Structure 1
Amino acid sequence: MADIKVLIVGLEIIDANIDEISGFEVVGIGINRSEVFELLNRKKPDLVIINDCVPDLSNVELITFTRKEDLPIDFIIITAITNSTTIKWALRHGIFDYICKPFIIDRLKDSLLSYCEFRRKLTCKDALNQADFDKYKGKVPFPQSPNFT
């Protein structure tokens, strides 16, 4: 499987940490709106790691644009915004992970490894079963129960 192309938005400091993880390639770092949209267009990233400190681009604007354009991009958000309304919005828009600041780099690395495993499963199988999904989401499966149909 080819390396996962990562665009970093507003977090230059994490670039070196991502490069340490096998299977990922940082294809760019955008620190303002024009850079981010140019990199999205030119580099076609698989994953965008976004911070809420880009002065002229909000997380909502970026995610809404990619969803509206049906771009095949996943997101990890690193933010100090912890209100439930924002988190619910992010989850409803298909965010892979939401990491609250302050954070430790190992938390991001765990997220990236989970993302890598999830993509691997999606590309090597024609269909996922419930156990695959439960493992990805870290859920404990329900005990066997009779089928209710």
Structure 2
Amino acid sequence: ADGTIRFDIAEDGKRFVWDKPVFDDGLPAHGATYISQGYIYPEGTLSAEVDGVNADGSAEFPDKVLGQWSCYGWYIGDAAHATEGPWVLSTQLYQFGSEWGAVTLVSEGYVIANTGGTVERAITGGTGPFANVRGQLADTNLGFNETEGGNARYEVTLVS
């Protein structure tokens, strides 16, 4: 399973939930926990004009969905008020296909607030063809979609 895998994710803002502490405006502050989910698409599906998620939270391109993206973690630093640099420390699960747990990758690391910025994350494991891999993931922030969920482009470099 050596090689490079590229894909886009579209977070469904309707499935994004956070807990206290919060700022006066209700947005998550440093230390707030959260969980969110969204859709995995082929690389290049998303752009500044293409969100990947409809206003009701459904996939914009259901025939292109490769799987489900799940993310949980903690807000750090300036948290939801951040405009650049790390704002989240997270675990992300990339579920490929429809058989739960059969083909997954897991990454750990920072998520950055600045649109267009990229940060490296560690690939910490997986299942199926990814059971014995490690590597890193370049996470590029593509901005927000119409559900206020984040969109991203990922480039995963794997080694066995």
Q: TM-score, normalised by structure 2?
A: 0.27
Higher relative contact order (CA 8 A, sep 6+): 2
Q: Which structure shows the higher strand fraction? A: 2
Q: Which structure shows the higher helix fraction? A: 1
Higher Rg of the two aligned structures: 1
